[in-house]
A and B are shown apart, each in its own frame.
Chain A
Amino acid sequence: MTFLACLITWIIVHVLILHSLKLQLQTAIWDSIISNCLLGAGCLLISNNLKYYLPKRQQFWYVLAFSLGITMLWLFMLNLIIMAWPAFTTDYTSFFLKSLPIRFAVGFIFIASIATTSVLWYAIEDQKESLRRKTETEKLAREAELYGLHQKLQPHFIFNSLNSISALAVSQPQKARQMIQQLSDFLRGILNKNENERILFSEELNHLQLYLEIEKVRFGHRLSSQIVSSETALQMTLPALLVQPIVENAIKFGLYDTTEAITISVSATDSDHMLTIKVQNPFDAETALHPQGTGFGLSSIHRRLQLLFGRSDLLQTLSEDGIFTTVLKIPQ
């Protein structure tokens, strides 16, 4: 829009200049329209070209040479048209030829300034765009981090545990204190562990036992657990905080899917340089909504394993005879 307004203004100014040089008004108007429309086209050409291609180095020389080239092209085309145009007299054409240097100078100034403005404009736009993208990525990263923290801390578990402690504080203060201790150790375990670091399975098992003890206080007689591990498996290593979400899934699955008492069993063995951990929970085959357990935490474990080992066969689930089994294999 601005560009068009400038062009029209310049066409008028151009007419006035030519007219003041004793040129016929009609000829002046034709001259102005033809040369300036061509000039406008040249400006658009250079501006569009710079939008899509701008060398990182030697920008100045590129813009200068390009502007010169376009100006020459413009003058050449203009010359062709003016000479071929039947309405112009020979007086006018000789005037035109004499005015070529000045036309070249004016045209060059126009084209070069449009080119410079375009370069600046696109550079600013580019910067705005990359800034926007940067804030966007930062925002996403922050959200992911918050979500991860949320997942790790399990607010539902913590608040329910605190509620149990509140109940015990009056009836069984000793037990309340013990549970505070367990909950603290559990939280410290979560906060101190780096998910990318490998730890001994015995350490992960301690963390798991804390978790199970707390859950047992919450659910009373409904929940019991059984942990079996071979001596060699205890000495094997695995990425931190992998097993607890599986057990958490088993507890949720077991406790929220049946109304009876349940036993969660965890067994660990070593086989062919693999640490194999098996977690089992009972479920009601008739009403189970998540036969694969995807609705709970297993899909994130699956993703983590894929990132860590580049394999998708390390986590397997199986439901049979009312028992849901999750098998986790960790290469050593």
Chain B
Amino acid sequence: MIKTIIIDDEPLARSIIVEYLEPYNTIEIVAECNDGFEGLKAIHRHKPELIFLDIQMPKINGFEMLELVETPPSVIFTTAYDQFALQAFEAHAVDYLLKPFSKERFHKTIHQWIAQSKKLSRDEPIQPLLQAASKSPAQTERIVVKTAGKIKIIPVNEILFLEAADDYVSIYTKDGSFLKNKTLSHFEQILDGSHYVRIHRSYIVNVDQITRIEPYEKDNQVAITKSGKRLPISKTGHARLKHILGI
């Protein structure tokens, strides 16, 4: 049996998928979820092979939920109207269903997915899509992270500074630090450049947090933050900082 989960905040929208899936004896719906939080839990518990995922949902949207799944299953997106999502889908040729969708369209999608999933080396189309989606308006305003099994939503303006750590970035806020599997360059792109400066290969800092800049060894500088952290500043970083601060 193929296990599947439907994640959509509208009960009627879920009921359509349930109805359309009826003729498939090989596909079993193991859970129906109202939002991304429930979705995450259900994915963790049931390890489905396929999920139907709405984009606009309470608290965290479909893209944000997917970012938090370590090994995402195959995804068929369902959305009514979201210009940004449509662009992202089309650019990455991911299968999506536009609400309201017909039974025929639905069957075509399922058949395609079954045919594709039989091949051993199935391409994983989710990663590039998530990268594109992370530039969506909602996701430049907040960052969703998972910490000790809980989900935390960080409004970007609460970020004190960011530190690169291997394939991850540590996000420092007043509530502590959180890991996110993104690059520092990604944050450099989405954060407001008039407040966040890349002062070093491994650091982006909120300029409002800097209390002073001190010389460090010869030629080098460190920024001291309000919380007393000392962050190294590179030469190009120093130039950028001076430009933003107007000194």
* Partner-B contacts on A (CB < 8 A): 155-156, 158-160, 162-168, 170-171, 217-220, 222, 255-259, 284, 287, 289, 295
Contacts and interface: CB of A to CB of B under 8 A. Distances in A.
Interface stretch (B7-15, B205-213, B236-244): B7-15
A163 B80 CA distance: 8
Contacts of B19: 167, 170-171
Q: In the complex, which of the residues B38, B56, B80 has the most CB atoms of chain A within 10 Å of its own CB atom? A: B80
Interface of B: 9-13, 15-16, 19, 34-35, 37-38, 56-59, 80-82, 98-100, 141-142, 153, 155
B153 to A, nearest CB: 5
Given A163-B13, A258-B59, A287-B153, 12 more contacts: A156-B82, A162-B99, A162-B100, A164-B13, A167-B16, A168-B12, A171-B15, A218-B10, A220-B12, A255-B9, A259-B58, A287-B142
A220 B11 contact: yes
Contact of B99 (A160, A255, A289): A160
User: Per DSSP, are chain A's interface residues mostly helix, strand or loop, or mixed?
Assistant: helix
3 closest residue pairs by CB, A with B: A159-B80, A163-B99, A167-B12
A159 B10 contact: no
B108 to A, nearest CB: 17
Contact of B81 (A155, A258, A284): A155
B12 A256 contact: no
Given A256-B57, A259-B59, A156 B80 contact: yes
B22 to A, nearest CB: 11
22 contacts: A155-B80, A156-B56, A159-B99, A160-B81, A162-B100, A163-B16, A163-B80, A164-B12, A217-B12, A218-B10, A219-B9, A220-B11, A255-B9, A256-B56, A256-B59, A257-B58, A257-B59, A258-B58, A259-B37, A284-B59, A287-B155, A289-B142
Contacts, number: 77
A219 B10 contact: yes
A211 to B, nearest CB: 16
Contacts of B35: 259
Contacts of B12: 163-164, 167-168, 217-218, 220
Given A170-B19, A259-B37, A160 B13 contact: yes
Contacts of A257: 58-59
A89 to B, nearest CB: 70
Q: In the complex, which of the residues A159, A165, A166, A255 has the most CB atoms of chain B within 10 Å of its own CB atom? A: A166
A156 B81 contact: yes
A222 B38 CA distance: 15
A68 B4 CA distance: 92
A160 B80 contact: yes
B81 A159 contact: yes
Nearest to B54: A160
A171 B12 CA distance: 10
Given A258-B59, A259-B37, A259-B59, A167 B141 contact: no
A112 B35 CA distance: 80
A156 B99 CA distance: 10
A80 B141 CA distance: 76
A159 B100 contact: yes
A32 B81 CA distance: 77
B61 to A, nearest CB: 9
